[in-house]
Amino acid sequence: MLAADNARLADVTRRLDTALNDLAAASRAAADAATRGDAPDDSVRREEAVANAEQEVRALLDRRRLIADRVIDRRRRIALLDAEAQGKRGNEFLTGRWSVVVEPGEERGIFRLNLQGTIVSGEYTLEGGSSGSFRGTLVNDRLRLERVDSRLGFNAIFYGRVSPDGHDIAGTWEATTFGTGEAGSGRWHAAREEEREE
């Protein structure tokens, strides 16, 4: 519909250019006739031609304004729909269940993440019984998660980059608590799990 309106706008604009040229020509002819002192009937005909050209210009200006307003309205609607679609894609980009491997040690687990705007929340369970929650952010494809363990509290930060198709996350992590005898940093990888039918 936008393409059709753009074509109409271009057509009316061309017709308006022609009508403006016709009005200018009719005005010059009427002025020349008055200067020459042509017969009254000739002057009347020339003034009628000017009036007709003015009427055509006004009609085309009104039509052009209506089409231009419609084009602007369609573009605004398209922009709103695009923004809404981007928001939906953005939330779906991260929200879901992820199968995770944390190095060193190939510790496996599940991350359940939820994205609202740029704010990430979620929960996790790891082999061995560790569990807790996440809070963090996603800016473009850069993910930052603070891991809050149910027993140890805030104990690690996960940094990651989400793949363009939204199916994988890879990155590094670092501990925020020390002296536990466990690794203080490492790498991690997550793969999106397909949604299961309930």
- Write down the pLDDT at residue 94: 86
Q: Which two tokens stand for residue 170?
A: 């890879």
Its pTM stands at 0.53
Q: What is the mean pLDDT of each run of 10 residues along the chain (198 residues)?
A: 87 92 90 83 87 92 90 82 57 84 91 91 91 92 92 91 89 81 84 68
d(CA 31, CA 130): 94
- Write down the pLDDT at residue 198: 40
**107-121: buried (b, 16+ CB within 10 Å) or exposed (e) per residue?**
bebbbbbebeeeebe
